[in-house]
Structure 1
Amino acid sequence: MVPDQQAAIDFYRDLFGWQGEVGTPETGGYAVCSLKGQPVAGIMAAMNPDGTKPDPMPPAVWTTYLATADLAATEKKIASAGGQAMVPGMDVMTLGRMAVMSDPTGAVFGLWQAKDFPGAGIVNEPGAFIWSELNTSDTDAASAFCADALDITTTAMEGADGYLSLNAGGRMVGGMQALSAIDDLPPGTPSHWLTYFSVDDTDSTVDALVKAGGNVMKAPFDMMAGRMAVVQDPQGGVFAVINAKGPESD
């Protein structure tokens, strides 16, 4: 969600090789971006639920969407577990049903009940989504919420002190950590989900981002899962890039 949709489409096309264009009025102009002919992400102009332009304009942001088989039932579980509806469930033509929610710590995420549109067609490849991370002010409260409302369990991740894995259906699907565990985090940063995109070369991707007007929040560094960086696009949208092959494989 960005103030200037076309500028964002152009930026991510150059950075990741995505293809996309402003969508039809029936979808609010939503742009489905593709890689190798498969959907990988969406970009939309910031707007109010009634279609008007916000004033003031909200900051650019990437939103993590979680799949659900029954959106209405999940909304009820979220409310019972202390979450809130930012955008209540709605139909998106025949594509599916969506909602935007927040957990008790304030972290915002989306829900998608697929119909004609199943979601991402490529993941875990360079230029596509690879990981989602919940950075929260209260890991205990967030863990309880995930279990009660989303059927997502948390377990300590081996070799990563203080880092938790998010597990659904017996599979690891994301991560969680306390905001206090993150170095150099701007004061007042709220609980949030961080989107990771896979890249072949973290350093060259960051160089290209800077040349295109982006900003580096955490310079490339090696960690247990690979070489990563946390960056902002030119409109301020924060995301991470990672070469998940790891430094040993170079």
Structure 2
Amino acid sequence: MPTRETAPVGAPCWIDVTCSDVDRAAAFYRELFGWTAESSGEEYGGYVMFFSDGKPIAGMMAGEPGQPGTDTWTTYLATDDVDRLAEAVTTAGGQVMVGPMTVPAQGRMAVFVDTSGGVVGAWQPDGHKGFGLIAESGAPAWFELVTKDYEAALPFYRDVFGWELSTLGDSDEFRYSTGRFDGEDLVGVFDASRALPAEVPSHWQMFVQVDDTDAAVARVRELDGAVLTRPWDTEYGRMAQVADPNGARFMLSGPVVAG
């Protein structure tokens, strides 16, 4: 089982969702992925930790309906110094959305807006190291910036987060780069300037691995979630975009259908 104690600096290390209805969301993710939910208590503002096979997998917090960021998943990138990182973000032309703050005994965090308009978190671990499973059924498998300004995003993540960039495609039909850590691709940047509607900003999306994409999509419907794109096959797996009953969007990734 692909367990992980820590993430490389600059790589995705945690995900959480801000929900307008936490009970509804908790039931959805429990039934869809088998995640168990535990409240961290009043000391942490009622923050909920999701677990899979006893390993931390994701977080959840309450948000106000209709407020920016509510019913949205956030991807956090690992850092060894969130204060220094915040300075680097500003220097590179990004914005500090939530300034560095301490989560007692767990770590320090911040939230930024990159130079292409994408919102991304940063996590400096202490007691909480991040998700403990990756690329396993029911666990996060991939993380991707879907950007309207590809040329601005690449140098930002290279310079601020230390990514080693690798180009997978560089045509108008498909322009995509990955962030590589010790020879392993752990994160992607997709040029969506031709694909995203005008009202949809650059954003991060996370992929959860499943054993059967079509079965997972059917289960999403049964649980009152939404299917935003029908499953399609790629060389990396069979994908679909869905949303939980509150509207928080994420991707499903499973094996290509044989035949």
Shared fold (TM-score greater than 0.5)? Answer: yes
1:168 corresponds to: 181
SS of residue matched to 2:80: coil
SS of residue matched to 1:118: coil
Matches within 5 A, 1:78-157: 78-157=89-168
C-alpha contact (below 8 Å) 1:146/1:153 kept by paired residues: no
2:10 corresponds to: none
- Cα distance change of structure 1 residues 31 and 239 upon mapping to structure 2, 3 Å threshold: same
Write the letter of the residue equivalent to 2:52. Answer: L
1:76 corresponds to: 87
Q: What runs of 5+ residues in structure 2 fail to find an aligned partner?
A: 1-17
CA distance in 1, matches of 2:236, 2:212: 14
Q: Is 1:201 aligned to 2:218, yes or no?
A: no
SS of residue matched to 1:88: strand
Q: What runs of 5+ residues in structure 1 fail to find an aligned partner?
A: 47-53
Q: Taking CA–CA contacts closer than 8 Å with sequence separation of 6 or more, which of the two structures ends up with the larger relative contact order?
A: 2
Matches within 5 A, 1:176-191: 176-182=189-195, 185-191=196-202
Once the two structures are TM-superposed, the CA of residue 55 in structure 1 deviates from its matched residue by 7.0
Write the letter of the residue equivalent to 1:173. Answer: L
CA distance in 2, matches of 1:171, 1:65: 18
C-alpha contact (below 8 Å) 2:149/2:193 kept by paired residues: no
Q: Is 1:33 aligned to 2:50, yes or no?
A: yes
Correspondent of 1:57 among 64, 67, 72: 67
Aligned-pair identity (%): 38
C-alpha contact (below 8 Å) 1:20/1:32 kept by paired residues: yes
Write the letter of the residue equivalent to 1:73. Answer: R
- Cα distance change of structure 1 residues 55 and 193 upon mapping to structure 2, 3 Å threshold: closer
CA distance in 2, matches of 1:181, 1:214: 27
Once the two structures are TM-superposed, the CA of residue 179 in structure 1 deviates from its matched residue by 1.7
C-alpha contact (below 8 Å) 1:6/1:22 kept by paired residues: no
Write the letter of the residue equivalent to 2:32. Answer: L
C-alpha contact (below 8 Å) 2:110/2:123 kept by paired residues: yes
SS of residue matched to 1:44: strand
CA distance in 2, matches of 1:73, 1:29: 29
C-alpha contact (below 8 Å) 2:96/2:112 kept by paired residues: yes
Once the two structures are TM-superposed, the CA of residue 161 in structure 1 deviates from its matched residue by 3.5
CA distance in 1, matches of 2:194, 2:179: 17
C-alpha contact (below 8 Å) 2:241/2:249 kept by paired residues: yes
Aligned-residue RMSD, C-alpha: 1.8
CA distance in 2, matches of 1:145, 1:187: 23
CA distance in 2, matches of 1:17, 1:212: 13
Using structure 1 for the length normalisation, give the TM-score: 0.90
C-alpha contact (below 8 Å) 1:3/1:57 kept by paired residues: no
C-alpha contact (below 8 Å) 1:71/1:113 kept by paired residues: yes
2:23 corresponds to: 6
Write the letter of the residue equivalent to 2:107. Answer: G
- Cα distance change of structure 1 residues 132 and 186 upon mapping to structure 2, 3 Å threshold: same
CA distance in 1, matches of 2:88, 2:67: 31
Give per-residue Cα distances to partners, 1:135-174, cap 9 Å, x unaligned: 0011110001011111113221169942211223443111
